[in-house]
Amino acid sequence: MPAFTLLLLGSVVFNFSVGLCISRARQQAQRTAPAVWLVLGIVVNLGLLSYFKYANFFVDNLDKVLSLSWHMAHITLPIGISFYTFTQIAFLVDAWQGKVHEVRPIHYGLFVTYFPHLVAGPILHHAQMMPQFASPSVYRFQGGHFAAGLAIFCIGLLKKVVLADGVSPYADAVFLGADSGLLPTGTEAWLGACAYALQLYFDFSGYSDMAIGLSWMFNIRLPYNFNSPYKARSISDFWRRWHISLSTFLRDYLYVPLGGSRKGALLRYVNLAVTMVLGGLWHGANWSFVLWGALHGSYLMLNHGFRAVCIRWGWGERLHASRSFGLLSWVLTLLAVLVAWVFFRATSIDGALRMLHAMADGMPGAGGIHPLLWNAGLQVSVGAGWCAALGLAALVLPNSNQVGERVHSWCLRSPDGRVALGAAAMLSALFLVLVNSTRDAASAFIYFNF
């Protein structure tokens, strides 16, 4: 929509201007002006984000609590507003801290509006991007970068079109039934939760690969945003691997300013909880996202508490060397993440609780009648096969970051090989686009909604 394009451009101009004011006030050694400009910038950014993303949520909940009979027209969420808002808040904070040294408006505009990251991340940092935009080599065609980028783009497209969209019907059938008031069987609930966990994994991983691949084609390196999170052996490790740019932002611009771990163990746990609850709310205006964030906050508190006990009693090295403890840690981490994904996917808390009730009531099995899947024309055995194959791929195969680096190095060394690879990747991309066009409805990336 043109209005949202103007909103984006206005946001870019406003934040660049405020950043300049902060930097100039710092250079002139003004004591309060930089902080005043920073507060103004943050308030305006969060105000716009709150209006578009949370106004309906706030009014609807206030109406339910106070019975005010208020009605507010639905506000359309501008695509990418969560990402470019956080990107620019980080820029303003860094300007206030004296970390911004590049202030050319063209480069700043590119930094914010750079299209591979704009709609679903990663959340970029100016120090990662400004030097690249300032380099003349970025604006010259480089065959090695282009061929490698196209290959990585195709890997991401394959993950989205074939893998994520292939398993998604099993998640949709079960969660839609649970949200509409039906109680899934134990098998349906476990299969639906696993299917969604893998759909989200390959959907987000696929988008991350496509964004990185597109950027390589333009001689730009984006930061890795995804690093095999289902291989994590603790919830802290999970958050070092999942949506890396968001977890880094929350750590650097929320958790640390709140005090981090500097003010004692109790406040550290409070800061973790607040950070994760707000991180959950960032994903969407729904209580289920808030509970998802609260769950992860609780997980992190338990993780840090257990680590503190291990350090105090000298168990750390022995447990770290134990294979059985490593396996148990991985299983518990994956199970905790899976339970939290139920709240992330469900559109209502009641729907999420029905899913968890069914999961707790019965372990998965192939026998019996499974009406939610049957009504959707789906078979348990096929869904279980999808989940087994995708789970194995996520855990055993090298991740696309590693593959991409190897392909990139090979393309730079082999001029003839990169031509063949580029042609094969182009044909593969066209084939995958044709496959996607045959479907009844377009399937957007999940993180487009955030």
| Cα–Cα dist 357/443, whole Å | 29
| Cα–Cα dist 135/146, whole Å | 17
| Cα–Cα dist 274/234, whole Å | 20
Q: What is residue 251's three-state secondary structure?
A: helix
| Cα–Cα dist 36/231, whole Å | 44
| Cα–Cα dist 396/405, whole Å | 18
| Cα–Cα dist 81/247, whole Å | 18
| Cα–Cα dist 172/195, whole Å | 9
Exposure on the CB side of residue 76, measured as CA atoms within 13 A = 6
| Cα–Cα dist 195/347, whole Å | 16
3-state class percentages of the chain: helix first, strand second, coil last, to nearest 5: 75, 0, 25
CB of 319 within 8 A of CB of 221?
no
Radius of gyration of the chain, Cα coordinates, nearest whole angstrom: 23
Torsion over CA: 354, 193, 332, 297 (sign)? negative
Whether cis (ω within 30° of 0) applies to the bond prior to 122 is yes
Q: Counting beta carbons within 10 angstroms of the beta carbon of residue 330, is it exposed (0 to 12), middle (13 to 18) or buried (19 or more)?
A: middle
| Cα–Cα dist 254/242, whole Å | 18
Instruction: Write down the catalytic residue from 117, 125, 243, 283.
Output: 283
Q: Does the annotation count 283 as an active-site position?
A: yes
| Cα–Cα dist 118/81, whole Å | 8
- Report residue 134: phi and psi, to 5°: -85, -10
| Cα–Cα dist 163/207, whole Å | 12
Query: Structure tokens of 194?
Result: 């696993």
Q: What is residue 163's three-state secondary structure?
A: helix
Active site residues: 283
